[in-house]
Amino acid sequence: MHLGTADVLAIFLAVVVCIVGARWNRSKHRPLPPGPRGVPLLGNIFQIPLENQFKMFTDWGNIYGDVVYAQLFQQPLVIIGSLRAAQELMEKRGAIYSDRPRFVLLQEIYGLKPMTSLIRFGDDWRQQRRWMQDALSTYNTIRSYRPLQMNEVNKLIARFATSPDSFFTHVQR
């Protein structure tokens, strides 16, 4: 396939628009913590090793401070590098950071019903948390659920064995 001048120009303009749009979108937000500069669209993916990432995060902490900002593709990543910073952020300003992200893929596309681990912070989350505290408040209560859990695990494994292609149907049950 041969690309003409118009095709190359269109691709170039699309890339420029994406980069400018990403920078413009980022500039609308509050100032971010310091961190290493990344590659447009890919972020810091090439700077983070596949193993022992904590060593790189420690190095970044020594350079940029206790709270470091990086990006993996377009996903923001905030690295908290000290107990003092974690306590400051979570204990003193915890209400700001207590929400969860929207799980669009799981909840809206695959239709996974809201569950305690995915509910965003608010009245529904508080109610579910109260129910969980009541249901799991003692060791004997937790231990009493064991037979039910094993029974459900066995049923799930049997369903996977009979129709492995229906993964999401089985998990949503």
What's the CA gap between 100 and 119, in Å, rounded? Answer: 7
Average pLDDT of the segment spanning 100-120: 69
3-state secondary structure of 100: coil
Average pLDDT of the segment spanning 30-50: 88
Global model pTM greater than 0.85: no
Residue 108 pLDDT? 67
Q: Which amino acid is at 6?
A: A
The pLDDT tens digits of the residues spanning 66-85 come to 999 999 888 888 999 999 99
Closest CA to 69 of 31, 34, 96, 21: 34
What's the CA gap between 41 and 28, in Å, rounded? Answer: 17
58 against 89, higher pLDDT: 58
Reported in sequence order, the residue ranges of the chain that DSSP labels E, i.e. its strands, are 67-72, 75-80
What's the CA gap between 47 and 68, in Å, rounded? Answer: 14
Query: Average pLDDT over the chain, rounded to whole?
Result: 82
Residue 27 pLDDT? 55
Residue 169 pLDDT? 84
Average pLDDT of the segment spanning 28-56: 86
Q: Which amino acid is at 95?
A: A
104 pLDDT more than 60? yes
Task: Classify burial at 88, counting beta carbons within 10 Å of its beta carbon; exposed 0-12, middle 13-18, buried 19 or more.
Answer: middle
What's the CA gap between 136 and 143, in Å, rounded? Answer: 9
Q: How many CB atoms lie within 10 A of CB 99?
A: 11
The pLDDT tens digits of the residues spanning 115-159 come to 667 777 788 888 888 888 888 788 888 888 899 999 999 999 999
Closest CA to 33 of 79, 72, 93: 79
Tokens of 5: 């001048």
Average pLDDT of the segment spanning 86-109: 73
